[in-house]
Amino acid sequence: MELHHVDTGGAGRPLVVLHGLFGSADNWRSHIKRWQESRRVIAVDLRNHGKSPHQAGMDYAAQAADVDALLDRLAIESCDLLGHSMGGKVAITLARQAPERVARLIVADIAPIAYEHGHEAIFKAMRAVERQPPADRKEADRIMTGFVETPAIRQFLATNLIRGENATLIWRVGLDEIEDDYAHIVAVPDGEGAYTGPTLVLRGGRSDYVGDDVLPAVESVLPEARIETIPDAGHWLHAEQPEAFQEALARFLAA
């Protein structure tokens, strides 16, 4: 599995960025522009996402192995690793399985626990678009509206639409592979023991992904974690409060 990635180049220890479910490296463009002013940044398309290959198996051991292999190809011995949501679980898995590769860990709005299934409406919306390939994004949005009420979520999903051979829009994500192995996506990260390196866990003040009730689970897997809450942010905290997100990372990485 050779993951597609965006590499800004530069010297020093890189910041490696892993997106969440149905995301891609493209979602981080505005942040990358800021970070690349002072360091090398590598934004990754995880398997079945973005421009990376489609392959069965979404368990976190497999996804972490993909990232580990990418670091090998890029001759990166150690990096600062940032993961959001599903990407945060990939990052936790890699940090547990190969701690020597992760100098500092940033986990954005996810905890090392199993979550209940919550994407059924999204899968239905995406399958509806698949059955009736739209001519443009406006039509795709109209189709998804029957299943997903929130415009911001529909806009986020639409970032995965590309032109197919017959000029209609198709999904670039490996929808079959993702849906078939969705149980692994909502499961706990893989790996054993704790990652004891410097860790920042960022959570959105309006998100329920990292509530106070799951902090004991966070502490058991990430005992050195500093918990920081970004007010007025939901699950997509880096998109909803980009300045606060940037500032929180800057403080942690400068310490």
Active site residues: 85, 176, 235
Bridge partners of residue 105, in order along the sequence: 81, 199
Is 61 in a helix, a strand, or coil?
helix
The answer to whether the CB of 159 falls within 8 A of the CB of 236 is no
d(CA 137, CA 122): 16
Q: How does strand 15-18 pair with strand 161-163? A: unpaired
Beta-carbon neighbour count of residue 240 at 10 Å? 17
- Helices 120-131/137-145 angle, 10° precision: 130
Bridge partners of residue 163, in order along the sequence: 169
Structure tokens at 141: 């949005």
Q: Which residues of 176-211 are buried (b: 16+ CB within 10 A; e: fewer)?
A: ebbbebbebbbbbbbbeebbebbbbbbbbeebebbe
